[in-house]
Amino acid sequence: MLTSTSVYLDHAATTPVLDEVVEVVARTMRQVGNASSLHGPGREARRVVEESRERVAEALRVRPSEVIFTSGGTESDNIAVKGTYAARLHGPDGLRRDRLVVSGVEHHAVLDSVEHLVRAHGARVTWVEPDAEGLVTPQAFATALEADGGPENVAVASVMWANNEVGTVQPVPELAALARAHGIPFHSDAVQALGQVPVDLSTVDLGVITGHKIGGPLGVGVLTAGRDQKPVPLTHGGGQERQLRSGTLDTPGIAGLAEAVAHAAEHQASHARHLSVLRDSLIQGALAIDDAIRVSGRWSPGDVTGRLPGNVHLRVADCEGDSLLYLLDAAGIACSTGSACRAGVPRPSHVLLAMGVPEREAVGALRLTLGHGSSQADVDAFLAALPAALERARRAHAASRSRV
């Protein structure tokens, strides 16, 4: 639980678990049973899993048979990218499909999977660079498909639904249609998008969501895989989840995930309206405080389609993002400089660099993300703490520069 003086503005890293999810998980944890067992308790656990699968499928607009339960977004992305590459590398037509088409702003769960395939298996990559707002345009994506030998040698294409750092929402259905026209499986990480913008994973071949970004439990997520998709599994054992993800199913976690996914889908529109008002208030307040602050990504007041409603990404001149983070944290404001999965890594965001932001500007990044429970009081507290943090961070930056 947050302390009474804490303001939590890092919902993109993880968000508080919904009360109804806690109740579902606690109730299910009191029931014994392995969903792979054939006796009564096992069948009851299986019933919970399959009913949860149906709820998740309905919310994501896919078939229940296409829902694969995993430990979260990272595992799902790994299965989708590595497994599909392995499945399609040597096709029955004799073609070698050793190329991946991937946006330059992906989460590291995708980027590091791609880099592994390059190092360990000689894969080739065509990077699709975004525009200055972080948008992957259909034109750029189509050009990448046609590059380096053409679409016939592409094993899989991947573009995230919405960026986890700067909040730009991608035209995923249109990009997926371009890939499908060439018979190329299209994968999209929708971890940040679900609950904030409409998400229809039937438009992609492989989709990814996770529980802890939408008020669900940590450690449980979903890979949606079309019935014609057969990635090579990364783990082997009991053959659970279409033999794509062996291991004893986390029945309580899955039940809690289903509750959170259903809640996210049902309340998406009203949630987006609420968050966008707070987001715009935060951005406009920050810009009024300091005219050297810049907003990263796409933004126009009231927009709930081009940018995630709960995402604010600011670049501050003559500051280090880490300094701002620690100073704000000391003032009771929890935020981040970028993806929590790369916390502590002292280098500029690959997302900002891909967008063409100079490295000297990229180091001054600050990400503030809103979620359920966020209020105008949180925004006001951040804006009240910002001027002093900016002053001290700039003094520290100037002092460090003078010593160089």
Axis crossing angle, helix 19-29 with helix 251-266, rounded to the nearest 10: 160
Element (H, E) at 8: strand 7-8
Q: Are 322 and 389 contacting, i.e. CB atoms less than 8 angstroms apart?
A: no
**Cα separations in angstroms, 384 against 282, 332, 389:** 11, 11, 10
Q: Are 230 and 212 contacting, i.e. CB atoms less than 8 angstroms apart?
A: no
Distance (Å, rounded) from C-alpha 334 to C-alpha 11? 10
Please give the single-letter amino acid code of residue 62.
V
Identified catalytic residue from 118, 292, 340, 341: 341
Instruction: Of 235, 232, 238, 109, give the one whose Cα is nearest residue 164.
Output: 109
Please give the single-letter amino acid code of residue 322.
D
Q: Residue 312: left (phi > 0), alpha (psi -120 to 50), or beta?
A: beta
Distance (Å, rounded) from C-alpha 331 to C-alpha 317? 21
Distance (Å, rounded) from C-alpha 174 to C-alpha 23? 39
Instruction: Of 69, 275, 105, give the one whose Cα is nearest residue 188.
Output: 105
Distance (Å, rounded) from C-alpha 8 to C-alpha 374? 8
Is 341 marked active-site? yes
Q: Are 189 and 208 contacting, i.e. CB atoms less than 8 angstroms apart?
A: yes
Instruction: Give percent helix, percent strand, percent coil of the chain, each to the nearest 5.
Output: 45, 15, 40
Tokens of 156: 């899989």
Distance (Å, rounded) from C-alpha 248 to C-alpha 254? 12
Instruction: Of 194, 219, 195, give the one whose Cα is nearest residue 209.
Output: 194
**Cα separations in angstroms, 149 against 5, 95, 129, 184:** 58, 12, 19, 14
| Catalytic sites, residue numbers | 341
